[in-house]
Structure 1
Amino acid sequence: MSQYLLYHNPRCSKSRQALELLREHGIEPEICEYLKTPPDLNTLRQLMRALGMAPSEVLRRKEVEFVQAGLDQGPLDDETVLHALAQYPKLLERPILVKDQQARIGRPPEALLELLEQTS
C-alpha cells in the first residue's frame, strides 16, 4: 500500500499531469477516483485539516453543481460547504495529494512537490 493518496479525476488534465509528475519522482500513489467513490463528511473534514484550508477554499465555483447546491446564494459556512462537497464531489478542487496528516492541491501539479519534500 502506498503512503500517498491521490484524489484523482482521470478526465482532468491537471490531475493526469500530477499523477505523471508523481510517477516521475518514483511515487505510485494509491488513487481515489473521488467522482466514483466520493469522500464522506468525516473524510472531508480530515482532508480540510490536512490541507489547512476552509472548505470554501477548495470549491470549484464555476461548476453547474455550485448553483445546484445553492452555494451561490450568500455566505458559506463550513458545514454547508462540506455537505455540498459530499453530495456533489465534482465541486472538490483536484488533484489533492495526501500523506500522513498533510495534503496539497496540485494546482499547478508542481505544487505537490512541496509535500514530497516536506515528508521525505
Structure 2
Amino acid sequence: MTTTVTIYHNPACGTSRNTLAMIRNSGAEPVIVEYLQHPPQREQLAAMIRDARLSVRDAIRQKGTPYAELGLDNPALADEQLLDAMLAHPILINRPFVVSTLGTRLCRPSELVLEILPNPQQGAFTKEDGEVVIDARGQRVSPGR
C-alpha cells in the first residue's frame, strides 16, 4: 500500500529541513510543495489549519515576515482577513505543514511529524543542531514536549 505524505516546505528553514529528513527516515518520499513559490489554494490552507486543530492566528508566522507592518496583530481582524494576508504573502504561512493519511500537523517542533507518519523510523536520526531524536533501533529518544 502506498501512502502519500505531503510537506509544505521551505528549504531555507531548519525546522522544515529536519521534518523532511524525518519523513524520509521513515522510508517515505513525500510530495514536496515549496509553498513560497506554490502557495496552497485558500480552501486548502483553511482545511490544513482546521485539520491541524489550530486557529488561523496560530498558523501565522510572525518572525521574519511583514506581520507587524501589515497590522496583523490587530485582534479585530477576522480569520478571512488573516487568510487573505497569508495568501498574499506566503511567508506568513507558518511551516512546515505536513499532511498524511493519519492527519495534519504544523510540525513545530519538527518531531510532531512522528505523530502522523504511517511508517516507523528506519534508523537513527539527529537534527541539524545535533539533538538526537531517534536511536539506532528507530525508537524515539526524547518526547521533546
Unaligned residue ranges in structure 1 (runs of 5+): none
1:18-42 Cα distance to aligned partner (Å, 9 max, x none): 1111111111110000000011211
Larger deviation, residues 56-65 vs 78-87: 56-65
* Deviation of 1:7 (Å): 0.3
Give the letter aligned to residue 19 of structure 2: A
1:45-80 Cα distance to aligned partner (Å, 9 max, x none): 111222121110111122331123321334332111
Question: Higher helix fraction: Structure 1 or Structure 2?
Answer: 1
Structure number with greater CO (CA < 8 Å, separation at least 6) is: 1
Give the 4+ runs in structure 1 shifted more than 6 A.
Answer: none
The alignment of Structure 1 onto Structure 2 pairs a total of residues equal to: 118
Cα gap change, 1:101 to 1:20, in 2 (>3 Å): closer
- Name the TM-score, length of structure 1 as normaliser: 0.87
Match of 1:43 in 2: 44
Question: C-alpha distance in 1, partners of 2:89/2:3?
Answer: 27
Match of 2:134 in 1: none
Q: What is the percentage of aligned positions where both structures have the same residue?
A: 36
Question: C-alpha distance in 1, partners of 2:42/2:102?
Answer: 17
Q: Contact 1:50–1:98 at 8 Å: present in 2 too?
A: no
Higher gyration radius (CA): 2
Matched, 1:23 2:16: no
Question: C-alpha distance in 2, partners of 1:110/1:42?
Answer: 26
